[in-house]
Amino acid sequence: MNFYVMTLFPEMILEGLSYSILGRARRAGQISVEAVNIRDFSEDKHKHVDDYPYGGGAGMVMSCEPIEKTYRYLCDKRKLRSRPRVVYLTPQGKVFDQQMAKEFAQEEDLFFLCGHYEGVDERVLDAIVTDRVSIGDYVLSGGELASMVMIDAISRMVPGVLTNEESKDTESFEGNLLEYPQYTRPEEWQGRRVPEVLLSGHHAKIEQWRREQSILRTWETRPELLEKAALSQKEQEFLEGRKKQQS
């Protein structure tokens, strides 16, 4: 899968996506990341990429022309046959989640437009953007970190990027339950013991304990997710029992 990032800070993108699983996937050619500086396409002698907002108000607005030129440069260079999906990162977008990551991972080419300043001229968004996406209900200084978050989550869904061992975590999130707690050596650390069941070697009991821990954690921190989780009759009863104990 090929990612193209239109940004004022290409080094930030390339550096940030060169570690761990993403770095490995790029080196193995399973994904590619090209980050292009919008400023390189400014025809202004001072290389300006923004201007004052019509109607007045604080801040600057990124201009249409350099952004569209960056986009066209990438499309022409890569000889894209059909119009690619172009994600504009904005807190006004649809909120990103695992399901969206899976859908975007079906694309062969995916573009990101990272805005800065107070925003981007709406006309260039209308002309090239296909998806407006937010990574959560807070405001970042620009779209770069948000695009990196998306590229990380999407890449993990591209076949071959994760090893079999690594894929297991993602599958469990798809069941709409949070992960169970993990422990490693030593058995006791500063007076805190590893739960006895994990030392028992009894695999069925361990599985059941982990599943119950996942259910309890999800109920405590993300109860809205539980509504979408498929719990067995026994698990429902277990959860009801715990709720009663607490009230």
Where do contacts with ligand ADE occur on this chain (CB under 6 A)? 89-91, 134-136, 138-140, 143, 146
What DSSP element (H or E) covers 138? none
**Least separation in angstroms between CB 115 and ligand ADE:** 7
Q: Tokens 């066209």 correspond to what residue?
A: 72
Closest approach, Cβ 41 to ligand ADE, in A, equals 21
In the complex, the smallest distance separating the C-beta of residue 137 from ligand ADE, rounded to whole angstroms, is 7
Whichever of 119 and 175 has its CB closer to ligand ADE, that residue is 119
Q: How far is the CB of 101 from ligand ADE (least distance, A)?
A: 14
Helix (H) or strand (E) holding 132: strand 131-134
What whole-number distance in Å separates Cα of residue 142 and Cα of residue 139?
8
Closer residue to ligand ADE, CB minimum distance, 7 or 42: 7
Which single residue is written with the structure tokens 């260039």?
124
Q: Kindly tell me which of 133 and 177 has the beta carbon lying closer to ligand ADE.
A: 133
Residues 6+ apart with CB under 8 A from 3: 31, 32, 33, 34, 110, 111, 112, 151, 154
Please say which residue, 5 or 162, places its beta carbon nearer to ligand ADE: 5
Q: Which is nearer to ligand ADE, 7 or 134 (CB)?
A: 134
3-class SS shares of the chain: helix, strand, coil, % to 5? 45, 15, 40
> What is the nearest approach in angstroms of ligand ADE to the Cβ of residue 93?
6
With 0-12 / 13-18 / 19 or more C-beta atoms within 10 angstroms meaning exposed / middle / buried, residue 90 is buried
